[in-house]
Amino acid sequence: MSTFDEIYKKIEEYPTIILHRHTSPDPDALGSQAGLARSLKKKFPAKKILCAGENDEGDLVWINHMDPVTKADYQGALVITTDTGNTARIANKLYDCGDFLIKIDHHPDVEPYAEMSYVDDAAPAASQIVADFLYAENLPVDKAVAYPLYAGIVGDTGRFMYPETTEHTFNVVAKLTATGINITEIARNISDVTFEQAKLQASVMEYMQVDPSGAAYAILTQKTLHKLGVNSEQASCTVSSPGRIKDVIAWNVFVEKEDGTFRVHYRSKGPVINELAAKHDGGGHALASGANAADMAEVKQIFAELVEVTKKYNEDHE
């Protein structure tokens, strides 16, 4: 693994730097990308620094928006990915058209795809790693930089409730908060949903099926989404809903996309599920991951695998 100093020296070398994050972004993907980009722009005003993606920020556009990027921009450019464990999930496939690739991430390094990387899978958020990098290298961290980084940390720690949250996490957010960012506004932006999304959250409970093992699932079809006036990206607000039920230990939320395939959300209160997600063009954390399903047959297979893992977890914890 590379050091912060090595990454900084590489950044100094390039006049153009293009930052990528993962598809279907969450606050940490957008926050780590935006925080790093904004700090580098302040430090190196003569460099061209761009945020690349697929314009799929959805309800999270308040964190950051993407820049128009063409293939020509990658000529002789440094490319940095944040919060993206594998190449299949990198938003905007031009990422490999640059001169050099750096990976900054906190997912298990199952695909070491970059020429230089800093991966800490014990960190609760990529945004925390980026903040550590900025402070270690004395790079600018003002309100504009701190705002998306704080949002990313809040998002990926589940508002500081997940077990990866440490004393160091609170030390970092204390520094970010000291810049004067409006943490109440960030919390509200992350938690607020539209009336249509609230109806969809309620419908998840109606559609949810629970196995005796404690594994559960809900399928949100395009028909349901259209009926409630919600798109596939907005449906991500439902992912945490099944976890509010005491007897649910692990769960899937399957969201049908317009092409008939499914975005698969995995969440867990104990059973490790990122290895399951990796089998289905996905990945993530031990207790929170994402994947894809081509059709209903794969949906059924995914839930069957979740049931087996949940049963094994129950046996090991009797």
* pLDDT tens, residue order, the chain (318 aa): 899 999 999 999 999 999 999 988 999 999 999 999 999 999 999 999 999 998 777 789 999 999 999 999 999 999 999 999 989 889 999 999 999 999 999 998 989 999 999 999 999 999 999 999 999 999 999 999 999 999 999 999 989 988 889 999 999 999 999 999 999 999 999 988 888 888 888 888 888 999 999 999 999 999 999 988 888 878 888 888 899 899 999 999 999 999 999 999 999 999 999 999 999 988 888 888 899 999 999 999 999 999 999 999 999 988
pTM of the model: 0.86
Count CB neighbours of 297 within 10 A: 9
Residues 158 and 118 in one domain: yes
Host domain of residue 32: 4-190
CATH number assigned to the domain comprising residue 98:
3.90.1640.10
Task: Compute the distance between CA of residue 254 and CA of residue 266 in angstroms, rounded to an integer.
Answer: 9
At 34, which helix (H) or strand (E)? Answer: helix 27-43
Supply 234's token pair. Answer: 């907005």
Residues 113 and 149 in one domain: yes
Residues 167 and 215 in one domain: no
CATH number assigned to the domain comprising residue 296:
3.10.310.30
Residues 144 and 26 in one domain: yes
Q: At what angle do helices 27-43 and 143-156 cross, to 10 degrees?
A: 160
Q: What is the DSSP letter of 244?
A: G
Residues 266 and 180 in one domain: no
Longest dimension (CA), the chain: 61
Task: Compute the distance between CA of residue 124 and CA of residue 247 in angstroms, rounded to an integer.
Answer: 26
What are the backbone angles phi and psi of residue 122, rounded to the nearest 5°?
-90, -15
